[in-house]
């Protein structure tokens, strides 16, 4: 990323203070890392490519530790941390899962540049993936703007976009119920095009579904992929209160 004004916009949007621990995942030549190092208490710059590591070390950045490791193999900090990164496009979804799948982690917020298609998918109101709706129970994920490939050297084959992620002050689902919600989301979104009547069958009784639809203010034609965060929260709350535990969908692990 060679556009300095864009780099400053990214870092400014993160509101970094001198008390913050910040991760730059895929630091590259250090365009973002260098700006972060002047604002944060500590920066962890993760980079695996030796030619970039050499350039990062030449910058002699203060408050910065260079972690020479595969991004997906690092251990996330236990303390609160922020992510400000232009992440590698090839592993966009695995990085997002690493940050968001476990809502009890120290991850607080982030400003991330990624491939535009992925940014649109993560922030769409049409949700086909259980993990995306699960993330939205604990984090606000917002599409900020598209970024032309011309801002990069060499330019990638696709355009990019900037998103923000912020931990919700009040989660829609309690973090302690994380695995229970994952089970529900995985069950309901097996076929995202299904109506709520068909998608919830097997968990809720027909009278419960009828009552739930009135509470959700939806009709038969609505697919479960179009349910809002708040509607998912209401479905979960209703299940926990009124459905016997033996009918709750189970999930052994999520990925």
Rounded average pLDDT over 117-137:
97
- The residue ranges of every structural domain in the chain are 4-167, 175-247
Please give the pLDDT value at position 157.
82
In CATH, what class is 4-167? alpha beta
Q: pLDDT band at 92, cuts 50/70/90? A: very high
Please give the pLDDT value at position 199.
95
For residues 85 and 26, is the Cβ–Cβ distance under 8 A? yes
Please give the pLDDT value at position 253.
59
Q: pLDDT band at 149, cuts 50/70/90? A: confident
Answer yes or no: is 26 a known binding residue.
yes
Burial class (CB in 10 A: 0-12, 13-18, 19+), 93: middle
Question: Which CATH topology does 175-247 take?
Answer: Helicase, Ruva Protein; domain 3 (1.10.8)
Answer yes or no: is 159 a known binding residue.
no
Which long-range contacts link 60-64 to residues 24+ away (Cβ below 8 Å)?
61/30, 61/33, 61/34, 61/37, 62/37, 62/38, 63/37, 64/33, 64/36, 64/37
Q: Which residues does residue 107 pair with via DSSP β-bridges, in sequence order?
A: 81
Please give the pLDDT value at position 48.
94
Please give the pLDDT value at position 41.
97
Answer yes or no: is 47 a known binding residue.
yes
Q: pLDDT band at 71, cuts 50/70/90? A: very high
């Amino acid at each position: 990323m060679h556009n300095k004004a864009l780099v400053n916009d990214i870092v400014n949007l993160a509101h970094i203070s001198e008390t913050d621990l910040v991760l730059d995942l895929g630091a590259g030549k250090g365009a973002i890392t260098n700006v972060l190092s002047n604002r944060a208490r500590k920066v962890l710059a993760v980079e695996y490519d030796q030619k970039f590591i050499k350039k990062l070390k030449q910058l002699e950045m203060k408050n910065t530790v260079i972690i020479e490791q595969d991004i997906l193999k690092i251990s996330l900090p236990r303390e609160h941390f922020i992510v400000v990164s232009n992440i590698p496009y090839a592993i966009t979804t695995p990085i997002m899962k690493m940050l968001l799948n476990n809502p009890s982690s120290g991850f607080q917020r982030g400003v991330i540049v990624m491939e535009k298609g992925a940014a649109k998918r993560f922030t769409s109101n049409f949700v086909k993936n259980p993990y995306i709706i699960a993330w939205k129970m604990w984090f606000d994920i917002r599409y900020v703007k598209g970024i032309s490939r011309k801002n990069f050297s060499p330019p990638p084959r696709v355009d990019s976009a900037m998103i923000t992620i912020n931990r919700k002050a009040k989660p829609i689902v309690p973090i302690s119920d994380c695995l229970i919600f994952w089970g529900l989301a995985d069950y309901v979104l097996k076929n995202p095009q299904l109506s709520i009547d068909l998608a919830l069958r097997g968990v809720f009784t027909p009278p419960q579904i009828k009552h739930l639809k009135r509470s959700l203010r939806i009709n038969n034609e609505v697919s479960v992929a179009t349910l809002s965060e708040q509607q998912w929260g209401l479905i979960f709350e209703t299940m926990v209160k009124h459905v016997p535990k033996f009918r709750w969908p189970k999930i052994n692990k999520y990925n």
